[in-house]
Structure 1
Amino acid sequence: MAGSGFSERAWDQAYRAAVAQAFGTVPYYREMWAEAGARREDPAPTPVTRLEEVLAALYPLGAPYERRREEPGWIGEPAELLEALRLTGAYRGERPLFEVRRALLDWRRVGRARYHVVLSADAEAADPETRAAGLRALRAAREPALLGDPGQLAELPDHPGGARLLVRLPLTDPAVSEHGAHEHGAHEHGAHGQEVHGQEVHGQEVHGHVVHDGHLGYLGGRDRGCGRVHVNWRRVHVRQTPAGPLFTLLRRRRPTLVGISVPGTAHLAVERCARHGTPVLAAREAVAA
């Protein structure tokens, strides 16, 4: 991560450009000026829980939402996942990547690596063979990387011991703000109430952690060296407010997501990593101290 080229000024300029684009071309944000009766410097925070309700208004006027032709608005791009994984220092793209999900995804590659979906135990599959096929491919793969929530990984039957386990943490997970938790063997509680002990999930070593939100997508990863959760600053801007952080996706336009608040993250703050000089998420108390 050394020599990342991060600049606080350039990061804020990218945010300002995203705000200008939103106010200029996206109905949802244009309406904020109309409601305020004046120009706004920043959009009003939008709770992530409201995004489904206003989805159609989040698409630019020049490329409007077309329900019958659209993929789900929250899929994101393979590059977002790859960059989050690279931030961990545990994945370089040389291994086939299997992601545990509740639905299939029409991706073929993430970077140079082949990409596969393994349906989770709670996924609704019309044909049971679909889930079985994903598990067979996982068992047959040579040195695969396997990504999922702690509970999803624990529920998979017969996954190979040689798989490199990568854990997907929700943005609201308390472990996101813990500094160096994995270096010191602290206990964490992941999704579905499953316990993550240091660097193991149910007895198997965990090689990396990425941070994810169901609507915002992959936001960053925990660096194995410094133990801090680094924001993928090339794609994500985080603006600190008294109520908590607001997230802006700098490159995503359909839908446009600017100034999004996530319930359960009021304890988080953004600061600079002393080792790498790039943005990290930390506990607000730690920043204030």
Structure 2
Amino acid sequence: MLTLTGAGFSALRWEAARRRTVARAFRTVPFYREQWAVAGRVLDEPVPVASEQLIDQLFRLCPLGRPFQPSREPTLWSDDGTTLRVAINAASDSRTATHAVFGREATAQASSGRRPAVRALSDRWAAVRAASGPAAARTVFDRAVVLRAVFGHRATGRAVFGRRWTAVLEVRDAMIDRRWLGRGVPYAALLSPKADVVNEERRAALNRRATELATSGAVIVGTRNELADVLPEIGAASLRVLHRAGLADALGMAGPVVAYDPVLGYYAARMPSCGHLHLLWRLFHARVADGALQLTALRRRRPVLCNVIPVDAAGAAVERCPRHHTPILTTTTA
């Protein structure tokens, strides 16, 4: 049982968030309401289900009031990029990238292994507010004004792997209608050689934007085999590689890696400062029940995912990081 707190983490609040998600699922989502009918009674917990069994269940996994409409929207298995963005931030292991509120000064301190001086920051914030009036930081816009006044520039917080980055490239088998990954970070899908396209010329044309972004420095995310195929095609020396893998491979892999599931998306990342595979706990709840790792998506509303067993998760366990005191994924097998 996780009892300690760290980086805003509270085991009690975390479990309460899961209980709210489960209650909402039973109340509004057909997939989970039907489990009550099958059992002939009210269930306290959704029946655990393997993620691969949910691929064709989008209609039943969406709330009754917001059904999935394939004629009007793309597949919901491609999320809005939130899990990818948070996973990259976690893999960067910098306070700036995680919270995106500090500026270049804090970025430099994080990359050199020192935390920003919270007291000094508070004093500077108070000085700006005193000079600007009591209402200087009441809105999101005013907070941005104050941050610019404090740091002398727009605070973007894009520090990854000890350096600033400008774009994210994700190796995929299909294109996606997305050009930005939030906070002004360019995004481009990079089609692998296995993508279903007319010919290589068409694939090269679709990859042109990703190739251009790679020249200015970018993070590229993909499986080991995908990266082996596309990296020689790009030939950019400034790329930062972030491996994508299933949980079993991610646990056994050294270096920057993110755990990925086709249904859940990105749900864990290895932090370089401690070497542990950290669960993205603000987005997912994890527990081991009936001998299986079960994840619940805390912030996704369509589709609703409760007690989902990720692929390649046999023998996985949830523990706490001895350094950060937040949930990590480990293995119980030798």
**Do the structures match in fold with TM over 0.5?**
yes
Cα distance in 2 for residues equivalent to 1:53 and 1:103: 18
- Equivalent residue number for residue 106 of structure 1: 177
Give 1:80 deviation, angstroms: 1.4
Amino acid at match of 1:40: L
Amino acid at match of 2:319: E
Helix, strand or coil at the partner of 2:221: strand
1:1-289 superposed matches below 5 A: 4-89=7-92, 92=97, 93=158, 94-111=165-182, 112-126=184-198, 128-133=200-205, 135-140=207-212, 141-156=215-230, 157-159=232-234, 160-173=236-249, 175-176=250-251, 178=252, 182=254, 199=255, 208-285=256-333
Deviating beyond 4 angstroms after TM superposition, the runs of 4 or more aligned structure 1 residues are none
Distance 1:52 1:136, change over 3 A: closer
Give 1:54 deviation, angstroms: 2.5
Amino acid at match of 2:233: D
Structure 1 gap ranges (5+):
183-198, 200-207
Superposition CA RMSD, Å: 2.0
Q: Structure 1 vs Structure 2: percent identity of aligned residues?
A: 37
User: For this pair of structures, how many residues does the alignment match?
Assistant: 257
Structure 2 gap ranges (5+):
98-157, 159-164
Give 1:11 deviation, angstroms: 0.6
- Equivalent residue number for residue 138 of structure 2: none
The answer to which structure has the higher helix fraction is: 2
Q: Deviations over 1:46-100 (max 9, x none)?
A: 1212112322111101011223223112111212111011111268433211111
Is residue 138–residue 144 contact of structure 1 (8 Å, CA) maintained in 2?
no
Give 1:129 deviation, angstroms: 4.0
Cα distance in 1 for residues equivalent to 2:322 and 2:11: 14
- Equivalent residue number for residue 145 of structure 2: none
Q: Which has the larger radius of gyration?
A: 2
Distance 1:53 1:133, change over 3 A: closer
Task: Pick which of 102-111 and 22-31 moved more.
Answer: 102-111
Cα distance in 2 for residues equivalent to 1:3 and 1:282: 18
Task: Pick which of 117-126 and 140-149 moved more.
Answer: 140-149
Cα distance in 2 for residues equivalent to 1:113 and 1:263: 30
Distance 1:131 1:78, change over 3 A: same
Helix, strand or coil at the partner of 1:14: helix
Is residue 116–residue 134 contact of structure 1 (8 Å, CA) maintained in 2?
no
TM-score normalised by structure 2 residue count: 0.72
Amino acid at match of 1:125: V
Distance 1:139 1:67, change over 3 A: closer
The answer to which structure has the higher strand fraction is: 1
Helix, strand or coil at the partner of 1:109: coil
Give 1:257 deviation, angstroms: 0.8
Distance 1:161 1:28, change over 3 A: same
Amino acid at match of 2:243: V
Helix, strand or coil at the partner of 2:233: coil
Amino acid at match of 1:142: S
Amino acid at match of 2:59: A
Is residue 93–residue 273 contact of structure 2 (8 Å, CA) maintained in 1?
no
Amino acid at match of 1:248: T
TM-score normalised by structure 1 residue count: 0.83
Give 1:134 deviation, angstroms: 5.0
Cα distance in 2 for residues equivalent to 1:115 and 1:72: 19
